Structure 1
Amino acid sequence: MQFRTQIPISKSNNPIDYNSKVLSIGSCFAENMADKFDYFKFQNVINPFGIIFNPVSIEKLFRRVCELDFYQEKDVFFHNERWHSYEVHSDLSNSDRQELLETLNKAITETNKKLKEATHIIITYGTSWIYKNLEREEIVANCHKVPQKQFSKELLSAEVIQKSIQNTIDLIQTLNPDINFIFTVSPVRHIKDGFVENQLSKSHLFTALHQVLKTHNSQLITHNYFPSYEIMMDELRDYRFYTEDMLHPNQIAIDYIWKLFSENYVSEGSFLIMKEVDEIQKSLRHRSFNPDSDQHQKFLAKLQQKINLLKEKLPHITF
């Protein structure tokens, strides 16, 4: 007997392997998946501009990156003793304006280079709700705790999102026509917007994204869309799979979603190396009761030998 429904997932025609170069952009769930790529030592870059939730802000960043449109003094502002940009996450904010501009422009240059080299790009959309700065009349990626009266809150229509996603694809393909796209919608519910409002927000993302994929090629829907939201809402429809806030997937859920992702989007030839990496990672975390013992020294020597053998096959891997 089956006690749960399982989401059917089609295998990618262009799976990720240890020679692939992956760029991941988007919501906090994108970071959950990127942590897995990092753990298994794939070549992965995650959110060079910090966590970004909405499609328009993601498009704006790719426009800057692809056109090498560097930040200027007019693009940053001072608030609460720090300099910020409305286009990026507050993790990049700085007490020194020049340092912030240098950080942002270095991120543009490096991401441009990484995007040209990337074999795969994973984009995770989080919400259709946006905040628009009233003075600048522009959609922001982060409000940086600026008073709410300086913003209007709006729900992006499916049509606007569809155009924004298409613009993002066009920009990226101009720089790298051979890149493989993987899209997903974050399973994290934005309940601060409201329960009904969150569902409406996600539905706009689904409608727009699938419409874009449908216009490209019917195969893209099955091969370039990973159903992380659907897995969380259907296969893992129990609060034991959530963190204490009852909104974010916990480690068990993240591990399960990663398992399904890797089975369908990572090449079978990479599984043995992933197993080797996993064994090394677990060994590195081992803490001996007697670090100076001969037994532990032999353990360390054997571990180093495993690392050296793996590095001979894949020089880019470091522990």
Structure 2
Amino acid sequence: MQFHLSFPVTPLSTAIQYGQELLLMGSCFAEEIGEKLHEHRFNTLINPHGILYNPLSITRALTSYLDGRVYTREDLFQHNDSWNSWDHHSRFSALTPEAALDNINGMQAAAIKAIDNADWLILTLGSAHAYSLKENSRLVGNCHKVPAGNFYKRLLTVDEIVTALDNMMHRLFFRNRKINILFTVSPVRYIRDGVVENNLSKAVLLQAVHHLVNKFNRLFYFPAYELVIDDLRDYRFYKEDLVHPNELAVNYVWEQVVKNCVGENSQALLHQVAEINRAARHRPFNPESHQHRQFLRTYAEKVKLLMAQHPELKLDDLREFFLAQD
């Protein structure tokens, strides 16, 4: 008997390669996969606005990069002794407006540069539910623990998501003629919205994404949502909150990303980087032994050779790590 439903993932016709620049934006699952890419030494910029869930807030952030926007004190508000931006995650909040703006505009500058040079924009949409301020109907990317009574909540429509992303992408493709866009829908279940409401939200996102992917040649879809919800399909693959995929599930999705989204030559290189990462995490029983010192010298030489063969790889810190331990 078969107790596990698996399905083939269609490999990308245009693969991700080492040496390319990757801009990742969206939900917390974007950060999970983004950190995996960063760990394996891909050139990544992850969530310059912080975690964003709904596609309109993501589009608003991307538009700010296309506009070259610089945030000012007028863009901030104060709540619970911290200064915050309605467009940004609370990781950018600070005790003074100057500190908040330093955090925001530092990442803004990096994102403005990335939008011109990126080979890939990877968007992970989390929820079709959006929040706006009651006082002025302003869309917010993060509520910053402001009481819920200050916001309207609504389910975005497929049409407005498609229109917002479509308009942004026309500008983006005109500005950056080499960029490809990879869409995913987050498998995180936002049950605070309600189970039925969460499923409806995901359905709206899926319909909008597939409409766009079918419209443009440079758009692709990776089924992270389906891999967790339909392939793994078990609460043992979730954290204790029963909402977020656990490490086992993230690693399973990552394996599929590598297999189906990364080019063959880059896959081989990725496995070499993974081996070196494992070696760096190794904790010896006897650090002073001749055997361990030889282990360190061997991997320092491997890193040196890999850097010579692939100058695009930034591995100086790993080589210094192995040399410093010897």
Q: Structure 2 length normalisation: TM-score?
A: 0.93
Aligned residue number for residue 60 of structure 1: 60
CA contact (8 A) 1:165 1:209 kept: no
CA contact (8 A) 1:128 1:205 kept: yes
Query: Does the alignment pair 1:274 with 2:270?
Result: yes
CA contact (8 A) 1:133 1:151 kept: yes
Tell me the alpha carbon deviations over residues 184-211 of structure 1, each in whole angstroms, 9 at most, x when there is no partner: 1001110000000001111111111112
Task: Write the distance in 1 (CA, Å) between the matches of 2:98 and 2:171.
Answer: 28
Q: Which amino acid aligns with 1:236?
A: L
Displacement of 1:182 in angstroms is 0.4
3-state SS in 1 of match to 2:127: coil
Tell me the alpha carbon deviations over residues 57-91 of structure 1, each in whole angstroms, 9 at most, x when there is no partner: 01111111111121122110111111000001000
Task: Write the distance in 2 (CA, Å) between the matches of 1:27 and 1:117.
Answer: 23
Aligned residue number for residue 226 of structure 1: 222
Q: 1:189-228 to 2 correspondence within 5 Å?
A: 189-217=189-217, 220=219, 224-228=220-224
Displacement of 1:278 in angstroms is 1.2
Task: Write the distance in 1 (CA, Å) between the matches of 2:198 and 2:72.
Answer: 35
Q: Structure 1 length normalisation: TM-score?
A: 0.95
CA contact (8 A) 2:187 2:225 kept: yes
Gap regions ≥5 residues in structure 2: 319-326
State which drifts further: 180-189 or 33-42: 33-42
Query: Does the alignment pair 1:296 with 2:304?
Result: no
Query: Does the alignment pair 1:252 with 2:241?
Result: no
Query: Does the alignment pair 1:264 with 2:260?
Result: yes
Q: Which amino acid aligns with 1:288?
A: P
Displacement of 1:212 in angstroms is 1.9
State which drifts further: 14-23 or 80-89: 14-23
Aligned residue number for residue 14 of structure 1: 14
CA contact (8 A) 2:259 2:267 kept: no
**RCO (CA 8 Å, sep 6+): is it higher in 1 or 2?**
1
Aligned residue number for residue 238 of structure 1: 234
Task: Write the distance in 2 (CA, Å) between the matches of 1:136 and 1:311.
Answer: 54
Aligned residues: 315
Tell me the alpha carbon deviations over residues 179-238 of structure 1, each in whole angstroms, 9 at most, x when there is no partner: 011001001110000000001111111111112222335x95xxx011111111111111
Gap regions ≥5 residues in structure 1: none
Task: Write the distance in 1 (CA, Å) between the matches of 2:243 and 2:237.
Answer: 10
Displacement of 1:2 in angstroms is 4.5
CA contact (8 A) 1:162 1:208 kept: yes
Task: Write the distance in 1 (CA, Å) between the matches of 2:188 and 2:7.
Answer: 18
Displacement of 1:134 in angstroms is 1.5
